[in-house]
Amino acid sequence: MIELDGLTKHYGDKVAVDHLTFTVRPGLVTGFLGPNGAGKSTTMRMMLDLDNPTAGSVRIDGEHYRRLTDPLRSVGALLDAKAVHGGRSAYHHLLCLAQSNGLPRRRVGEVLDTVGLTPVARKRSKGFSLGMGQRLGIAAALLGDPRVLLFDEPVNGLDPEGIHWIRNLMKNLAAQGRTVFVSSHLMSEMALTADHLVVIGRGRLLADTSMAEFIRGNSRSYVRLRSPEAERLRDVLHAERIAATEAADGTLEVDGVPSERLGELAARHGLVLHELSPQQASLEEAFMQLTAESVEYHAHDGEPVGGGPAEPVPPGVAAGPGGWGGDWRKKGS
Amino acid sequence: MAAVGQVLRSEWTKIRSVRSTVWTLGIAVVVTVGLGMLICALAANDFRTMPARDRLTFDATNVSFAGMGLGQLAMIVFGVLVVSNEYSTGMIRSSLAAVPQRGTFLFCKLAVATALVFLVGLATSFVAFFAGQAMLGDHRAYLGDPGVLRAVFGGGLYMTMIALFSMAVATMLRSPMLSLGILMPFFFLVSNILGNVSATRKIGRYLPDQAGQRVMQVIPRAADVPYGPWGGFGIMAAWTAAALVCGYVLLKRRDA
Ligand SMILES: Nc1ncnc2c1ncn2[C@@H]1O[C@H](COP(=O)(O)OP(=O)(O)OP(=O)(O)O)[C@@H](O)[C@H]1O
Ligand SMILES: [Mg+2]
């Protein structure tokens, strides 16, 4: 379990992380989403005590990171930038980390096997491809068999097979009851892996919700209708008590009615249709909308922005599943 | 708390698993010994034509350390790389995530690197002495002569301290280029100029290398030096201690 309490980081005037309060629970893969520069990597570095928070704190299973005995046994992390000396072999890189935490030498061989780097274990990591470097980072994270795992953009540079592998790895780790916290800026990637979502924008918490809830609330499906007899089509729908909204390009969008029924209805009334197509708004769009709103929120300063299933929760109250943004309002203001 | 023994072992693995260790220390040994022998051979040749005054103050021991002026540059590179490679490669993040007690991390890294440099430096100093004396023929000094053993031992200590000073500076500056860009010209040029121009000599002799070199002289190069061999070495050690404290404080406070 990872608990963030009012975590804040300023770099000079720049606020990289702004009063983040949320909890990452064990047994789940928690996706950490945000556009470039949202503060994901900074938050993860503070979790590892690499960067000092300006305010607030992080606790790992109730302890501050610095107080952990042999931290690699508790927390394993893959950071965004390569954190490896390229002149050292993969084996020695892992060995020196293992020794610093009193881990047995055999763990090095085991994790090299797990990530599939055994054949190049004695090669200097300078020559590794992007994906191999990523695997070495993952091996280091797994070294101490930790209960908490942090992955900053783990699929970066991996091939499709590698992506598939890391997805399964994360799910398995969570299924074993571990806490898995993984960052990404791809909603589509998270939809396949994460059970829970934490979304930030400009350092602020925008959403803390279960994946299922996010999909339910955001993957709107509707049917698009286009007809040269738009007026008559509208009347027919109205008579059937079917609500339709007119889109900008003159097409009609109908929510919650199967396309079969709409087609039969048009046939019965002898209506000519040029288009009858079921549509699905992508999660990516929903995510973009959500983070775009965070920018708007800043611009209007203080006015919670409507739209979407946003329902502001008072500060300090952890948003339950489906509740958006535990921390819309600035604390202490 | 990370156990010190574990971190020492880890740092030893780090040092022995990169090539720069062998290269820099190897060059330090070869240059110091080789150049020392060459200069001893030249000195033996010139001895007859030397002015009488120079013959009296001829320090056979110190002449065999003549290669150290250049050899120390390789020691500086070693010291800088041991620390700054962590930053230039990003390894520091892995290292501090594994050992979040930054004091323990720094102490163990410097302890291992310093111990290695001490062994190599001491060996270099003794080899340079015996090889150099062999070249000097009749004018040679013996280990049993007054002050000679101290000077030879001091040669090893001097090399160790110059490397440790470099490690401390690199801890402060983090960047290898910046650290080398300051240390190399300083020890190779600036310090020599300050120490040899009469106007600045009084200041120059308190610089870490000028003061530290006193410990490997049997006969003081300048008669009016206000400190003895160990006093000079103490001045160098004080410089190093100050740099270490600065480096430690910065490491504690900075984001990795
Ligand atoms: N060391 C630093 N000094 C100054 N500013 C920094 C530093 N590290 C991060 N920032 C700034 O803080 C903000 C958050 O950066 P961060 O790297 O945490 O974002 P991110 O969410 O990981 O982005 P990405 O998706 O691109 O990886 C950015 O605006 C960045 O410019
Ligand atoms: Mg990032």
* One-letter amino acid of A282: S
A316 backbone dihedrals φ, ψ, rounded to 5° = 90, -20
- Tell the residue number behind the tokens 């002569």, with chain if given: B145
CB-count burial class (<10 Å; 0-12, 13-18, 19+) for B188: middle
Average pLDDT over chain A, rounded to an integer? 86
- For chain A, give the percent of residues with pLDDT over 70: 88
C-alpha to C-alpha distances, B155 to A60, B190, B214, nearest whole angstrom: 50, 21, 10
Chain A residues with CB-CB distance to B99 below 8 A: 100
Closest CB to A77 among B13, B18, B97: B97
Q: Which of A20, A33, A41, A78 to mutate to test the pocket of ligand 1 (most atoms within 8 A of CB)?
A: A41
Chosen from A46, A67, A75, A85 to mutate, greatest number of chain B CBs within 10 A: A85
Distance of CA B168 to the CA centre of its chain: 13
CA distance A320 to B207: 65
Put simply, the answer to whether A85 touches B91 (Cβ < 8 Å) is yes
CB of residue A54 inside a 6 A radius of ligand 1: no
Chain A residues with CB-CB distance to B18 below 8 A: 85, 87-88
> pTM score, two decimals?
0.85
Report residue B211's pLDDT band, with 50, 70 and 90 as the boundaries. Answer: very high
- Residue A178 CA to ligand 2 center (angstroms) comes to 23
What is the number of the ligand 1 atom nearest to the C-alpha of A34? 21
- CA-nearest residue for atom 31, ligand 1, is A37
CA distance B111 to B104: 10
Chain B residues with CB-CB distance to A79 below 8 A: 90, 93-94, 97
Question: Which of A6-10, B86-90, B156-160, B200-204 comes out lowest in average pLDDT?
Answer: B200-204
Put simply, the answer to whether A140 touches B94 (Cβ < 8 Å) is yes
The alpha-carbon gap from A161 to the nearest alpha carbon of chain B, in Å, equals 26
Q: Are B74 and B28 in contact (CB under 8 A)?
A: yes
pLDDT the model gives residue A94: 98
Q: What is the mean pLDDT of residues B139-149?
A: 92
Report residue A150's pLDDT band, with 50, 70 and 90 as the boundaries. Answer: very high
Tell me, what DSSP letter sits at residue B174? -
Higher-pLDDT residue of A317, B131:
B131
Q: Are B93 and A50 in contact (CB under 8 A)?
A: yes
C-alpha angle with apex B176: B175 to B180, nearest 5 degrees?
Answer: 120
Average pLDDT over chain B, rounded to an integer? 93
CB of residue A39 inside a 6 A radius of ligand 1: yes
Closest CB to A100 among B1, B17, B98: B98
Put simply, the answer to whether B253 touches A71 (Cβ < 8 Å) is no
* Model pLDDT for residues B114-132, shown as the tens digit of each residue: 999 999 999 999 999 999 9
CB of residue A154 inside a 6 A radius of ligand 1: no
What is the number of the ligand 1 atom nearest to the C-alpha of A35? 25
Strand partners of residue A3: A23, A59
pLDDT the model gives residue A9: 97
Put simply, the answer to whether A50 touches B11 (Cβ < 8 Å) is no
Tokens coding B70: 């250049």
> Is residue A286 predicted with pLDDT exceeding 80?
no
> Is residue B197 predicted with pLDDT exceeding 90?
no
* One-letter amino acid of A108: V
- DSSP H or E segment with residue B126: helix B102-136
Q: Kindly list the residues of chain B whose beta carbon comes within 8 Å of any beta carbon in chain A.
A: 1-3, 6-7, 9-11, 13-14, 17-20, 85-86, 89-101, 253, 255-256
CB of residue A11 inside a 6 A radius of ligand 1: yes
CB of residue A42 inside a 6 A radius of ligand 1: yes
- CA-nearest residue for atom 30, ligand 1, is A37
Where along chain B do its domains lie?
Answer: 4-253
The alpha-carbon gap from A316 to the nearest alpha carbon of chain B, in Å, equals 28
Q: Are A88 and A121 in contact (CB under 8 A)?
A: no
Put simply, the answer to whether B255 touches A52 (Cβ < 8 Å) is yes
> Is residue A303 predicted with pLDDT exceeding 50?
no
Q: What is the mean pLDDT of residues B30-37?
A: 97
Chosen from A91, A100, A142, A148 to mutate, greatest number of chain B CBs within 10 A: A100
What is the number of the ligand 1 atom nearest to the C-alpha of A39? 18
Residue of A nearest to B20 (CA): A87
CB of residue A10 inside a 6 A radius of ligand 1: no
The closest alpha carbon to A75, from B94, B253, B108, belongs to: B94
Question: Which of A127-141, A249-263, A280-294, B195-209 comes out lowest in average pLDDT?
Answer: A280-294
Q: What is the mean pLDDT of residues A293-318?
A: 43
Strands A29-33 and A196-201: parallel
Q: What is the mean pLDDT of residues A73-81?
A: 91
Closest CB to B6 among A85, A86, A102: A102
Three-class SS state of B175: coil
- Tell the residue number behind the tokens 């602020």, with chain if given: A204
- Residue A31 CA to ligand 2 center (angstroms) comes to 13
Q: What is the mean pLDDT of residues A76-88?
A: 90
* Model pLDDT for residues A157-186, shown as the tens digit of each residue: 889 999 999 999 999 999 999 999 999 988
SS3 letters for chain A? Answer: CEEEEEEEEEECCEEEEEEEEEEECCCCEEEEECCCCCCHHHHHHHHCCCCCCCEEEEEECCECHHHCCCHHHCEEEECCCCCCCCCCEHHHHHHHHHHHCCCCCHHHHHHHHHHCCHHHCCCEHHHCCHHHHHHHHHHHHHCCCCCEEEEECCCCCCCHHHHHHHHHHHHHHHHCCCEEEEEECCHHHHHHHCCEEEEEECCEEEEEEEHHHHHHHHCCEEEEEECCCHHHHHHHHHHCCCCEEECCCCCEEEECCCHHHHHHHHHHCCCCCCEEEEEECCHHHHHHHHHHHHHHHHHHCCCCCCCCCCCCCCCCCCCCCCCCCCCCCCCCC
- Residue A35 CA to ligand 2 center (angstroms) comes to 9
Q: Kindly list the residues of chain A whose beta carbon comes within 8 Å of any beta carbon in chain B.
A: 45, 48-52, 65-66, 68-72, 75, 77, 79, 81-89, 92-93, 95-97, 99-102, 140
